[in-house]
Amino acid sequence: MSGPRHVPVLLEHVLDLVQVRRGGTYVDATLGLAGHAGAMARRSLESLREELGTEAPQVRLVPQAFSDMATVLESASLDGLVADFGVSSLQLDSAHRGFSFRLDAPLDMRMDTRSGATAGQVVNQADEEDLANLIYELGDERRSRRIARAIVRARPIATTGELARVISAAAPAMKSDTIHPATRTFQALRIRVNDELGEIRSLLQSAPSLLKAGGRLAVISFHSLEDRLVKDALRDGAHAGVWDVLTRKPVTANDEEVQRNPRARSAKLRAAVRSAATGSLQRQTPVRRWAKLHR
């Protein structure tokens, strides 16, 4: 029996902004269950059928990080680039991946389990100040110091369930809370483990060189840290003559879509067209360096 059908967020807006056409080359940088990629392929196929019958678009799967994109793809080869920064429900619902406190599992949280420090290593090896800083800055958790102190006192912590209980005891839910007390800390750890903001910066820096003149970028973010990076990159690119921004304000889901797909509630879509002008981006956003973790 199949599971729930995947519902890509802001799909029609993405298709309208990317303007998929016959013969174009498009990348879905966050394939997941292929919600946006599948729709782009179907849109391309509809155009193909008008002239070529049932010939299908070609699809190539490349399991690489955003930071590898410029080495995998040819310069000025794309007509469109789409990225949806939401975490896949497949990952959240896989207990052994350690993303969710709803399912007790080893603290891992790596998107790519082949390399990199796990959440368990961060939790058990980072010093208290670094833990507090990353929980505050990446999780927007106001009680970060209290939580970091409790984590250090409780170490070693082996599972998601243990960590959630330590956090809940140190910073219990208040009447006004609408989320679990551990939500922001788990978000911060996931972002840190996968260097998500660094990878997003890499994608945004590579995109202008990968897109043809007139090629389109559409990016969906789900929290303010991501959206700020996208907003700043498109603004700076517009000033440098690299981008013509299509979305003065982010596109968000209407009430009907949110009711149909609750995860769309916090989604923000921004888009731009690669300018024909030969602009370049020199500005580099500084990346905070966390304490070195020993394996």
Residues 40-67 pLDDT 10s: 556 565 554 454 445 556 777 777 788 8
Residues 27 and 286 sit within 8 Å (Cβ to Cβ): no
Sites in the chain below the pLDDT cut of 50: 1-4, 33-36, 48-49, 51-53, 283-295
Beta strands in 179-224 (DSSP E): 211-221
Residue given tokens 């369930």 in the structure block = 161
pLDDT of residue 89: 64
* Residue 30: partners with Cβ closer than 8 Å, 6 or more residues away: 82, 83, 84, 85, 86
3-state secondary structure of 236: helix
pLDDT of residue 114: 84
CA nearest to 205, candidates 37, 83, 63, 79:
83
Nearest 5°: the CA angle 10, 176, 122 is 70
Please give the C-alpha separations between residue 58 and each of 11, 27, 44, 52, 219, in angstroms, as whole numbers: 21, 12, 10, 14, 23
- Give the chain's domains with CATH numbers: 11-88+202-274 (3.40.50.150), 113-193 (1.10.150.170)
CA nearest to 267, candidates 276, 275, 258:
258
pLDDT of residue 90: 63
pLDDT of residue 158: 96
For residue 129, the Cα-to-chain-centroid distance in whole angstroms is 26
Q: What b/e string do you get for 151-174 counting C-beta neighbours within 10 Å, with b at 16 or more? A: bbebeebebbbbbbbbbbebbeee
Cα–Cα dist 122/94, whole Å: 21
Predicted model pTM: 0.83
Name the residue type at position 221. Answer: S
Residues 236-257 pLDDT 10s: 999 999 999 999 999 999 999 9
Cα–Cα dist 286/71, whole Å: 22
